[in-house]
Structure 1
Amino acid sequence: MIQTLPLHPDRDLLAGELHARPALPLATPVTISRLAMLRDAGADRGAAIRHLETLCRRYGVTPPAPGADFVMADFGRFTLRYERHTEFDGWTFLRPGPDAGAPDPFEDTAIEAVPTDWLAELPGRTLVAAHIAVPRTAGEDEPPPPGCFVPDNLAGSSVSAGAATAWTDFRPGADGFTRILLQDHGMTAALAGRLAQAVWEVETYRLLALLALPQARACSAELARASAGLAALTARLPGLDKLDEERAALDELTDLATTIERLAAETADRFSGTRAYHALVGRRLQSLRETRLHGLPTLTEYLERRLDPAVATVEATGTRIANLSVRCGRAVDLLRARVAVAQEAQTQQLLGAMADTGRAQLRLQETVEGLSVAGISYYVLSLAGYALKPLPLGDIKADMLLAVLVPVVAGLVWIRMRRNRRKSTA
């Protein structure tokens, strides 16, 4: 029936998003090794799948479909779960063990069954490396075997209403892997899968949330200089009384604003990622439903004391950049307004000077026109005098006739010059 209806082109994609990267049932005891490989900006997103294809060919396993985001494959000695995320690739290796009562549940890890040459060629850079041991225990709240964790950093809690106990110190061991012990007190396979995924996602997302911390610390000194420079420039503004000084200050402010906007552009994506990953850590910790035991901090309490201040530093740096950008923008607007007012006053003075010059030119032009009328009239009358003297005029004297012609000629010359000036200004 649904096939006869018009469907949105993204319907299947959106419906399948709820089932992406599902928690898979785990038969305990099991040991898990988790890697999160951070991709470089602009890196080929299909490199991980192609690398996985080489492992499949080596073991005779059906290769994944090109562009797959989630792969689960059994390689005999180990099982591999691959997930492609927005900026990293997750590799989770699983194998049976450790046995109940093992002195060191991390002695035989899952990743030891994976070919080392293939691991060395994994695309990306390793950000997360964790071992998760899920042994079965006879009694609840058994302390972890000695030597597994650093006692001073140990965190532990009873999870999922006592179905399991989680232990970790969140510290990389000698092999560079963080260790997490999840003791099974009678979990179902489905619950074991959900809890294992929750704890490895806590480990993954906490480190991703901290990626912005070095960047926040690195730009703090530059922010301090920018803030001090902005304060100094703002203090100088009332004392500026020359247009050149205001323009120089505006140039300094513009350079400062450029620096602040560069910092904002460089940190915006990473800082927003920190907020998103920190929220994911909180939700995964809530899903554990922790209960305190043995007077130790729970995983939530441990991370609240260590992770939350670091995230708060990142948030404060982002807020500082935003506030500094707003302050700098206001200072730039204020100084631009002052420069505009000064330029307008300068323009008014220039226009006044141009008006005075125009009036002087008009008076000069009128004077020149008067002289031109007199000169042309004199020239015309002189020519007329030469023409009239030889003529027999009877009782009319040539001088009298020229005297009569003076106003007529002068008037005609003046009228002609007025017409020519009107044509030239039209």
Structure 2
Amino acid sequence: MRDHELRRKAVAEMHLRRWPIVESPSTIIQWVVMVADADRAEELAAIKAKAAASDTVQNPTHLDGALGPDLRFSWERHSEGTSLTLFVGGEAGQGFGDLAADERVAAALAWANSLPGEIVRCTRILLTTDDAAAERAMQGVAWERDELVSSHIGNGTMRMWSDFRIKDDGFGRLVVAANGTHPSDLTRTLQQLQELGNYRNRALLGLPLARESWPRLNAAESSLRDLADRVAKDQETDDQLLDSLSDLSLELASLSTAMRFRMDASKAYAQLVEERLEQLRPRPIEGFSSLDDFTQRRFRPAMNTCTASMDRLGELAVRAEQLSSLLRARIDTRIENQNGELLSSMERSISMQVRLQQLVEGLSVVALSYYLLGLIKLVLDGVAKATHSFEASTILALLVVPVVLLVWIAMAFAKRRLFGSGVEK
């Protein structure tokens, strides 16, 4: 037996996106960035240069390594952007002090800042042993006290604090007290907490686009209402109405193309946010806003706005299609009526042609009979002059009826033969 070519990749996939075991006290620094396709190769090369020599995961979308004693990193490539996480232990990882004071950490920060990409979220996470150590560390940070969120999370007594504001150095601040939580559970819960914020920020990228779309949606709705009135009044040509309706449909299609990817991504990220929130099971603490309240008050209304924008765009597209169908049905009905009138006119014309043909046939019998009797008269006159035995006019008079009948029978026979020949062909 041989290994399937995708076996190791399939197994490795189940071990991706796992942080190394984190112990308190320590500091975690994470950047979530959007990287252009042209810069992905440069980023991957820079990460591989620092990654561990032996890649146990064997997947180029997840690399980790050490940048020095008590200084590790983990890098992940997502479907949209990447994330880089530094794990700082030892003396440098205790407190919110100036990390650049440690040369190793300063070098790591300089290397991280040299990587390509646009920052979506970057956070400094301080992991302390207990609540008392966390409260001491928080004293040196300018928190927005009215917006400070604190909750117990996970299965044990872990507690988190954050106001989810960007500080002067460009980083957000998050404080987590382990309170005796096992390192494995601590690491998993901490990663889920960070993923909650990362997915939340990525989902919120769709909100500005949704807000910008409302004026265009209002204009499209007004145009659609105006077009419906113009179609109902029937004071313009169908071509003019169809051109206006086509322009509106193109505008809606353009808007849908511009919004669809971002709105679908926001919807997917919002679902992940709800899943992470359910996994964290935040429990409120008196005097603080809970993590669930914070999400309920700010994030979910934003996602409702994104959903409402796409629903409204979809409804406008359906209404435009319905109006287009009605207009096309009216055009088709008019074309059918015109075709019916044309067919009736053709039927009358054909009927008239048949009657004229019958009249011409009757006149043709008379004409042919007349010419044939003329020829017979010439013959009879010649014979009468030569023999002086009969009157040519008398015999000619007697031949008029038989000649006319003979010509009529001959033409009917010829017509029957010609018609039969045409049918066979």
Counterpart pick for 2:163 among 138, 147, 169: 169
Report the equivalent of 2:260. Answer: 268
Aligned-pair CA distance for 1:218:
1.7
Report the equivalent of 1:377. Answer: 369
Report the equivalent of 1:90. Answer: 83
Identity %: 27
CA distance in 2 between partners of 1:185 and 1:24 (Å): 19
Measured against aligned partners, the alpha-carbon deviations of 1:292-332 in whole angstroms (never above 9, x if no partner) come to: 33511122211221111111100111111122222222222
Contact 1:80 1:94 in 2 (8 A): yes
Report the equivalent of 1:250. Answer: 242
TM-score (norm 1): 0.84
Contact 2:12 2:59 in 1 (8 A): no
TM-score (norm 2): 0.84
Contact 1:70 1:84 in 2 (8 A): yes
Measured against aligned partners, the alpha-carbon deviations of 1:348-399 in whole angstroms (never above 9, x if no partner) come to: 2222222122222222222222223323332333334334543467745444
Contact 2:162 2:173 in 1 (8 A): yes
Counterpart pick for 1:62 among 31, 53, 60: 53
Judged with a 3 Å threshold, the aligned counterparts in structure 2 of structure 1 residues 121 and 386 are, in CA distance, closer, same or farther, namely farther
CA distance in 2 between partners of 1:63 and 1:108 (Å): 31
Unpaired stretches in structure 1, ≥5 consecutive residues: none
Contact 2:74 2:84 in 1 (8 A): yes
Corresponding letter in the other structure for 2:404: P
Judged with a 3 Å threshold, the aligned counterparts in structure 2 of structure 1 residues 119 and 188 are, in CA distance, closer, same or farther, namely same
CA distance in 2 between partners of 1:271 and 1:25 (Å): 35
Judged with a 3 Å threshold, the aligned counterparts in structure 2 of structure 1 residues 10 and 336 are, in CA distance, closer, same or farther, namely farther
Corresponding letter in the other structure for 2:147: N
CA distance in 2 between partners of 1:156 and 1:377 (Å): 120
1:30 equivalent in alignment to 2:26? yes
Contact 1:159 1:166 in 2 (8 A): yes
Report the equivalent of 1:410. Answer: 407
Choose between structure 1 and 2: higher helix proportion. 2
Deviates more, 1:24-33 or 1:389-398: 389-398
Secondary structure at the aligned position of 1:167 is classed as strand
Aligned-pair CA distance for 1:419:
3.7
1:51 equivalent in alignment to 2:43? no
Report the equivalent of 2:64. Answer: 72
Aligned-pair CA distance for 1:288:
2.9
CA distance in 2 between partners of 1:276 and 1:354 (Å): 63
CA distance in 1 between partners of 2:6 and 2:97 (Å): 49
Secondary structure at the aligned position of 1:186 is classed as coil
Measured against aligned partners, the alpha-carbon deviations of 1:219-273 in whole angstroms (never above 9, x if no partner) come to: 1111111111222222343332x7x634433333333233223323332232222
Report the equivalent of 2:355. Answer: 363
Alignment: residue pair count: 414
Aligned-pair CA distance for 1:336:
2.4
CA distance in 1 between partners of 2:216 and 2:389 (Å): 107
CA distance in 1 between partners of 2:367 and 2:410 (Å): 10
Judged with a 3 Å threshold, the aligned counterparts in structure 2 of structure 1 residues 101 and 92 are, in CA distance, closer, same or farther, namely closer
Judged with a 3 Å threshold, the aligned counterparts in structure 2 of structure 1 residues 177 and 118 are, in CA distance, closer, same or farther, namely closer
Counterpart pick for 2:251 among 248, 253, 259: 259
Secondary structure at the aligned position of 1:139 is classed as helix
List aligned pairs for 1:88-237, cutoff 5 A.
Answer: 88-97=81-90, 102=95, 104=97, 112-114=106-108, 116=110, 119-122=113-116, 124-137=117-130, 139=132, 142=135, 144-160=138-154, 163-237=157-231
Aligned-pair CA distance for 1:163:
3.6
1:277 equivalent in alignment to 2:266? no
Contact 2:27 2:93 in 1 (8 A): no
